[in-house]
Structure 1
């Protein structure tokens, strides 16, 4: 009994470190309008600064996606926290765009290491028989951390001094504290190898996975694209068209999307993977439609609903997609297949975001957003129609 309590304490401490690591990746979201005013750049530059993060994540997934399996969980997390500290220092020193690019790239490197290593570590630290609950802890820490970032930054920017400095100083302190926690937790990888043993993990798609992968990847792409555009462009939309100048409100609206995603992921356990994928596509379709309505009518209520509904749809589709793809993959290719799904998802965070930025110049922010939602509605409708005709039958749960 005492062993179980100690195991769950360690599991929760690992989850807390996960929250801190992921919060840093979304911390700048409500601050982009302030950076625009400070440095005088356009929405296109905002989207590029945001997308640089995704390129960092993709680079780590390709080159060192299995680093924690090789060198150990603690070294991988300490490297991730080191990148998070370096990212915070870049933002603290920022006096031009170069610092923002560097900070976002380092943040992406941190997230790339944390995504796999922290998830595995939280599950490793749980006591025997606690795998299911540990998965929920990891899921909540991942998306909850992403939601805490804009919420924390928005509150500090609105109600505390130095809005472009204090959020990153606080995160720097939390990251250093997290490093101390990691050093006090046990290593869970028994057979560790040197860093030189880490090898690139190239995308892989065995034939049995392809029928499941195509609709799962489409839904994941759309869900992450919605998150990407929502977190990069919505602060400017709220400020310019809805006259929401309160940074805490902006941070809360963005955070709602991530918190709703957590709820959607939890729901997959009850709904089941085969039903969650088409249901998630339908909910994601509704969220995108609400976002289009918000862009067309300038109603704050629709923006909030789009965050909640779209976030729930993203959570349903992504956890179900991950489970379905993992269940269909041969055991010896599973890690490579999952990495491929993450690559598609993070491509969704980057390329559509930059596309919206490019269209903002000739079309304006609202029309560019409507073009984006139209394209994503078409993609998610295709994925949903495919799933209705050919339901997932992988046995994944």
Structure 2
């Protein structure tokens, strides 16, 4: 009876595992973007401008990148330990936000948020895949990508609504976040461990690297990912200021909704375009990204809110196409022994896109104004996306012509005679 009861509990935990881990993944990613609609309030209360705002936003990427360097630690420590650590760091970040009274403390909160995101992005994705049967692993990977983007979009929407319609706009969102994360801790404890013999060991950093044979595919795919994440960084860090100063719409709930529209479109795109072949999805994603950037630039010049929302939605769709296909192409083309290292390099390149470029926008805004700096930024990122598109088309043409030549050789008389 006792053995049967233990087996039933194990089966129940196994069945609930994917939902529990998905919730924890979502909760941590929600916390990483919670501050987005609150930046104008921080600017006013702490007395800083656009440059400091972009620096505060961008140090998040430093935390993510540092955590990704240790992305394989869960192979030894166990998935649950790493997920518990990620949730705990996210809770510490929320507490630091609650007591933030100056810029250094705000910076510390952002770095901690980045660390939690880096830990959970790597570990949560792998755990969701391992918790399902082999034939459902493709769907689990898709779920992980969708949960990631939906969590990133949920943070600004929740904080924007609370900051606009409830008291204590710099406190209440993070108090609610702590409650959400407390349930995430319970969810991780309920889920089963997927590593057979986890052990306590000192985490070791993994050096980024890309095998020479994968670089022709890796470089354009990584450039496209860099461009997509740079736009995500722009929208998340600068749109609150653009809405308030350029479009004269300081509504915090609106800010959260606009940012949510971008991440929501990316989430929907992950599902809608899941079956689009990589060779089509990657260049198409670059083209859609350029169209979205053009709409955002047009919105800034015309001071049009509908066009800005349209641009953010199109950018989200382009990102969902390009990033998924780029990651899949890089993963498929890399030898198994070097796959983790190459995928980490791909993520590191993508997350670099939300740091330095956004800081440059903040610096340019000091000299030329936020609108002109943002327009210049969209043009520069569009050039990057176009360069990736051209490289991908050339790669596809070379592969097609190579395949045709090989096919021709197979049909030659000399070949037939053999």
SS at match of 2:129: helix
**Rg: which structure is higher?**
2
Asked if the contact 2:229–2:351 (Cα under 8 Å) also holds between the matched residues in 1, the reply is yes
* Structure 2 unpaired stretches of 5+: 1-7, 401-418
Asked if the contact 1:68–1:76 (Cα under 8 Å) also holds between the matched residues in 2, the reply is yes
Residue of structure 2 equivalent to 1:274: 279
Whole-angstrom CA distance in 1 between matches of 2:38 and 2:220: 35
Give the direction of change, closer, same or farther, for the CA distance of 1:274–1:281 in structure 2 (3 Å limit).
Answer: same
CA offset at residue 133 of structure 1?
A: 2.2
Give the direction of change, closer, same or farther, for the CA distance of 1:205–1:245 in structure 2 (3 Å limit).
Answer: same
Aligned mate of 2:301, from 291, 296, 299: 296
Aligned mate of 1:344, from 346, 349, 352: 349
Residue of structure 2 equivalent to 1:38: 45
Whole-angstrom CA distance in 2 between matches of 1:219 and 1:264: 16
1:151 matched to 2:157: yes
SS at match of 1:193: coil
Residue of structure 2 equivalent to 1:118: 124
Aligned mate of 2:19, from 12, 16, 34: 12
CA offset at residue 68 of structure 1?
A: 1.3
CA offset at residue 6 of structure 1?
A: 6.3
SS at match of 2:342: helix
Residue of structure 2 equivalent to 1:231: 236
Residue of structure 2 equivalent to 1:320: 325
CA offset at residue 136 of structure 1?
A: 2.3
Deviations 1:258-287 (A, max 9, x none): 111122222442211110000000000001
1:101 matched to 2:110: no
Moved more, 269-278 or 22-31: 269-278
Whole-angstrom CA distance in 1 between matches of 2:53 and 2:262: 19
Whole-angstrom CA distance in 2 between matches of 1:195 and 1:358: 42
Deviations 1:292-332 (A, max 9, x none): 11111110011101110001101111111100000111110
Whole-angstrom CA distance in 2 between matches of 1:132 and 1:330: 19
CA offset at residue 8 of structure 1?
A: 4.7
Whole-angstrom CA distance in 2 between matches of 1:334 and 1:268: 24
Whole-angstrom CA distance in 2 between matches of 1:316 and 1:107: 26
Deviations 1:59-92 (A, max 9, x none): 1112x11121120011101111111011001110
Whole-angstrom CA distance in 2 between matches of 1:277 and 1:266: 16
Asked if the contact 2:14–2:191 (Cα under 8 Å) also holds between the matched residues in 1, the reply is no
Deviations 1:341-363 (A, max 9, x none): 11110110101000100100111
Map 1:183-198 → 2, pairs under 5 A: 183-196=189-202, 198=203
1:387 matched to 2:392: yes
CA offset at residue 132 of structure 1?
A: 2.3
* Structure 1 unpaired stretches of 5+: none
Whole-angstrom CA distance in 1 between matches of 2:15 and 2:259: 30
SS at match of 1:24: helix
1:48 matched to 2:55: yes
Asked if the contact 2:58–2:354 (Cα under 8 Å) also holds between the matched residues in 1, the reply is yes
SS at match of 1:52: helix
Whole-angstrom CA distance in 1 between matches of 2:354 and 2:14: 35
SS at match of 1:391: helix
Residue of structure 1 equivalent to 2:411: none
Residue of structure 2 equivalent to 1:182: 188
Aligned mate of 2:257, from 247, 252, 257: 252
Asked if the contact 2:14–2:192 (Cα under 8 Å) also holds between the matched residues in 1, the reply is no
How many residues are treated as equivalent by the alignment?
A: 391
Asked if the contact 2:13–2:192 (Cα under 8 Å) also holds between the matched residues in 1, the reply is no
1:83 matched to 2:101: no
Map 1:56-75 → 2, pairs under 5 A: 56-62=63-69, 64-75=70-81
